[in-house]
Chain A
Amino acid sequence: MKLKSLMVAFGMMAMALVANAEPKQATGQAMSWQCAPCHGINGQEFNEAMPPLAGMKKDEFVKAMIAFREGTRAAIIMDRVARGFNDAEIEAMAVWFEKQPAIQWENMTYVPTAGGKYEPK
């Protein structure tokens, strides 16, 4: 068997294994996207009652979410939301939000380089 077809065969076996396994935890990004309708695209909303999440220190995010979840911090709605996430999921979102630029989303522009990305104007 040629090396290439061997690699293809291995690749397919690996994919079959993955297909049978429990799906892995959602990524920090995928979960954080769910917060956008209130906290802004990527958490980049700095002019509203609901606080921005972009650039928030990881520990601050984790502490707040766990306090909401455990009912030790007063809430209007975040207690009900936070009860949907376990520690690992909260951590993954915290890591992702910390990396987002603390810039209002409207001030970001698309840069059409290879791969494309959004940067401050």
Chain B
Amino acid sequence: MSQNKITRRDLIKVFGASAVAATGLFGMSAKAYAKGANHVVIIGGGVGGSVCAKYLRFADADVKITMIEQNPEYITCLRSNDVMVGYHTLDELTFNYNTMREKYGINVMIDQVTGVDYDRKTVSTKNGEKVQYDRLVVSPGVDFRFQDYEGLSKELSDTKIPHAYKAGPQTLLLQKQLESIPQGGTAIICPPQNPFRCPPGPYERASLFAEWMQKHNPRGKVLICDPKDRFTKDGPFKKGWERLYGYGTDNSMIEWISGSQGGRVVGVDAKNMTIETDGDDHKGDLINIIPNQQAGKIAQIIGLTNHSGWCPIDRHTMESTLHKDVWVLGDSSIADAMPKSGYAAGSQAKVAAQAIADSLHGRSPGKAIYSNVCYSLAGENYGVSIAAIYEVRDGLIKPKGKSAGVSPITDKPAQPILEAVYQKNWQREFVKDVFS
């Protein structure tokens, strides 16, 4: 098949009729595929899926790539905490798939995947499409376990007790609730049990709420009811809270109740705006329960999860250990020491993209090297971070060399100020790595 002479019929053969119609595939850069070109299908156009699509294009110019995403636009969770306190708008965090299509020749289908037939290597969708694959990538994010809390449900989270742990309407609902807290009122944040998406997320949120209250509700208070006794970057976070919000004093704007102090929330009474914990009941003007989590629903439906509720993978490649020629990325995967972060999802996606290209061309992949850096804000100009490079050792993904570490606690004001600068630099750069 000669370059640029790809016909509508060719495209339909490759991608299916409604895919061609729905995506305007004809508008993309004139990318022609050889007959019998390999087809990689990606479920989920979030961080893991999009980075994988793009870097697979870098690793293999000739492979056909189809990404199936249920929403026409993606709103990043990253920096969605900022939206609640007015440092960002949701619009600034919203991305479409035009560049994916035009610059990288990726066929983006807006549709929901409903099942996979592993024998026939076919993905089926809500709109009735059947898409054949040679390699399948699954990166569907997380699913929430509302059932772990008496009185909580998905409906309640959409209306009164938002988790705001997928960016969108719930982010704006929580923002409105923060603004509506009466003077001297209380915001309750209930982080989930490990493992969960964005381990510093709830604590960053508490920090930004406290900072917002300093300006708009100076007698207000943030209460964190935690099932855990430690949390990521707790050293630098608590130091930041001491410096910024009087943490540890009687007038602290943030109070943290750990698991052993009875902080675990077991139920909610939405009518009376009260949570029940292992310790006392607490009344709040805002209640933000971030439920326990498990692999994205579709990963469960198509049998990629084990007893833990997450997806086991070959640590060298991110290929599923339960189904052949299927890769699982990001939050849904069991990646040991790597946190469930966007940075980690992107890192895994790059390793997987190379491994998939290698597998299609009969090459053996090199040693897997992963990375993660999570920047959080303890205040608008006060950053804290955790960073590590990872390798596979003794069958597990572990920090490589002496790389793992959190921000040092020093008396130099430059450290947290520069980390906040880097945090903003990182966010701009990261979304480019995913979507530009």
Query: Which residues of A approach B to under 8 Å, CB–CB?
Result: 15, 18-19, 22-27, 30-31, 33-34, 36-41, 45, 48-50, 76-77, 80-86, 89, 105-106, 109-110, 112-117
Contact = CB atoms under 8 A, between A and B. Distances in A.
A121 B427 CA distance: 26
6 contacts: A26-B367, A38-B429, A39-B429, A83-B405, A84-B371, A110-B29
Contact of B347 (A22, A34, A45, A116): A34
A36 B165 CA distance: 25
A37 B354 CA distance: 17
B30 interface: yes
A117 B4 CA distance: 15
Contacts of A40: 429, 432-433
Contacts of A48: 425, 428-429
Interface size class of B (residues with CB under 8 A): 35 or more
Contacts of A24: 364, 366-367
Contacts of B362: 15
Contacts of A41: 432-433, 436
B162 interface: no
A26 B429 contact: no
Given A37-B343, A41-B432, A105-B432, A84 B389 contact: yes
Interface string B118-150: 000000000000000000000000000000000
Nearest to A50: B425
Contacts of A45: 429, 432
Contacts of A25: 366-367
Given A84-B388, A105-B432, A106-B436, A33 B350 contact: yes
A26 B4 contact: no
A107 B25 CA distance: 23
A120 B385 CA distance: 35
